Amino acid sequence: MVDINLVPHPEGSLLDLKAQPGSRKTELRGLQNGALKVCVTEVAEKGKANKAIVTFLRKTWKLKGSQLEIISGETASHKKLLIRDLTPENVLQLLRMCGVEG
């Protein structure tokens, strides 16, 4: 079992992300150093990649737009994602459904 940086938060859960903008394909690429690696085709300028990450995860996990927010690391490749209304256990279930083991 791989460790994933996923912790409870008063509004839900915090998940570490590793962003890879400018990829050939938008996809989840497993875990890297405890963070969920998310590749998006959008480039990292003017928040385009961040928006693409949130949109991709929202659609993949079938969540409302207001449930996902990047709360730190907006201009870095390592980010913290707030997932509102879901416990860490719920988030682990979503990851497993996507083929990511945490």
pLDDT per residue, tens digit, the chain (102 aa), is: 458 999 999 999 999 999 999 999 999 999 999 999 999 999 999 999 999 999 999 999 999 989 999 999 999 999 999 999 999 999 999 999 998 876
Task: Evaluate whether residue 101 is within a structural domain.
Answer: no
Task: Evaluate whether residue 52 is within a structural domain.
Answer: yes
Domain residues for the domain of 39 are: 6-93
pLDDT at 102: 61
SS3 34: coil
Task: Evaluate whether residue 61 is within a structural domain.
Answer: yes
pLDDT at 65: 86
pLDDT at 101: 73
Phi, psi of 90 (to 5 degrees): -60, -40
Task: Evaluate whether residue 48 is within a structural domain.
Answer: yes
The β-bridge partners of 36 are 17, 31
> Which pTM value belongs to this model?
0.93
* CATH number of the domain bearing residue 66: 3.30.1200.10
**How many domains in the chain?**
1
Contact 57, 51 (CB under 8 A): no
Task: Evaluate whether residue 98 is within a structural domain.
Answer: no
